[in-house]
Amino acid sequence: MIHLIEQIINGLQLGFVYALIALGYTMVYGIIRLINFAHGDVFMIGAFVGYFGFAVWGLPWPVAILVSMAVCALVGMAIERLAYRPLRKKGAPNIAALITAIGVSLFIEYFTSLKFVFGPNYRVVERPFADKLFHLGPINISSVQLLVMGVVLVLVAGLQFIVYRTKVGKAMRAVSHDRDAARLMGIDVDRVISYTFAIGSALAAAAGVLFALAYPQISPFMGIMPGLKAFTAAVLGGIGSIPGALLGAVLMGQAETLTAAYITTDFRDAIAFGILILVLMVRPAGLLGKAGPEKV
């Protein structure tokens, strides 16, 4: 029983990290209907910047997270401006943007794995603080787990505030619903899209740093699987829905962790995706997605 609870906590830690990444996917999809394949690589860049921050430049880890978030916000905006916006201006079909996103993802991975950049190998991350074990009755919980979950909760709360209590957030929601109508209302759609990328990328960066602290190995290709799983989580919850992304991510985290702990690590990923497919059979638009009936 205790073991189960500890595994659930492990699953929450993982799920919360996925949640930060999933939020970026879902917000970008909600606003421009693009699956941003490069998002997982922004997560990776965030991890590296954070790593350099506290391991090389000696920054305190909260500062490292903030620096990483700022850098990746810029990276995200740059990607949008250089790779996706030209296609949007051309009125190109969504699939073109998707393939370009794949190209950007590959570019980031191959570029950062060059010897004179990060190099292709794994690096081990030394945590800048000791990992203490706390005891809640018979249950053990580590300071890293608390840290990860705490930071994620703070960031998600911050996101909720931005999306629902600020003008920028309102503009983001408006553009998500109807881009043309928003434009007619005087909203600078291009700028709103930029902000969405900035916020999503910043969250992914935080996820990257937290991931590096929690599972201390980083490499230029580390973003592929977490990116894929986070994207799956976003779809599972209903792509375009922020609460959906959170729910989906928590579920994915649990599915993965509990399968590894109680069934087998070998089939861990298969079962997680198997659950996804089963959910889509029953809820074709994801758990919280709206399967709007098509207007004929």
Partner 1 sequence: MRSRFFVVTGAIVGLYLILEMLRRTGIISLYWAQIMDLSLIITISAVGLSLIYGFTGQFSLGHAAFYGIGAYTAGFVSKSLGGGAGVAGFALALLAGAAAAGLVAFLIGLPILRLRSDYLGIATLGFGVIIRVLLDNSHKLSPALGGAKGMLGVPQLASFVWIFWLAVGAILLARNLIASSFGRACISIREDEVAADLMGVNTTALKTLAFVIGGALAGLAGALYAHRYPFLHPSTFDYLKSLDVLLVVVLGGLGSLTGTVVTAVGWVFLLEWLRAILPAEYLDLRGVVYALVLIVLMIARPQGLLGGQSAKGGKRRAVA
| Binding residues for partner 1 (CB under 8 A) | 29, 35, 37, 83, 86-87, 90, 92-93, 95-96, 99-100, 102-104, 106-107, 109-111, 113-115, 120, 224, 228, 231-232, 235, 239, 266-267, 269-270, 273-274, 276-277, 280-281, 284-286, 291, 294, 296
Neighbours of 57 (CB within 10 A): 12
Task: Name the one residue in this structure whose structure tokens are 């609460």.
Answer: 243
C-alpha to C-alpha distance for 102 and 90, rounded to whole angstroms = 19
With respect to partner 1, which residue has the nearer C-beta, 147 or 234? 234
Q: How far is the CB of 155 from partner 1 (least distance, A)?
A: 25
Q: What are phi and psi of 194, to 5 degrees?
A: -55, -45
Q: How far is the CB of 274 from partner 1 (least distance, A)?
A: 6
Q: How far is the CB of 45 from partner 1 (least distance, A)?
A: 15
Q: How far is the CB of 14 from partner 1 (least distance, A)?
A: 17
With respect to partner 1, which residue has the nearer C-beta, 262 or 267? 267
Q: Which of 186, 275, 176 is nearest to 232 (CA)?
A: 275
Q: How far is the CB of 239 from partner 1 (least distance, A)?
A: 6
Task: Name the one residue in this structure whose structure tokens are 């909760």.
Answer: 153
With respect to partner 1, which residue has the nearer C-beta, 116 or 138? 116
With respect to partner 1, which residue has the nearer C-beta, 69 or 79? 79
Q: What number of helices (H) and strands (E) belong to the chain?
A: 12, 4
Q: Which of 268, 262, 258, 269 is nearest to 9 (CA)?
A: 258
User: Which whole-number Å values give the CA distances from 4 to 103, 107, 262, 263, 295, in the listed order?
Assistant: 41, 41, 9, 13, 47
Which parts of 13-150 are beta strand (E)? 123-124, 133-136, 139-142
C-alpha to C-alpha distance for 203 and 19, rounded to whole angstroms = 9
Q: How far is the CB of 275 from partner 1 (least distance, A)?
A: 9
With respect to partner 1, which residue has the nearer C-beta, 18 or 54? 18
With respect to partner 1, which residue has the nearer C-beta, 168 or 228? 228
Q: How far is the CB of 86 from partner 1 (least distance, A)?
A: 5
With respect to partner 1, which residue has the nearer C-beta, 69 or 101? 101
- Sign of the C-alpha dihedral computed for residues 109, 115, 117 and 119 taken in this order: positive
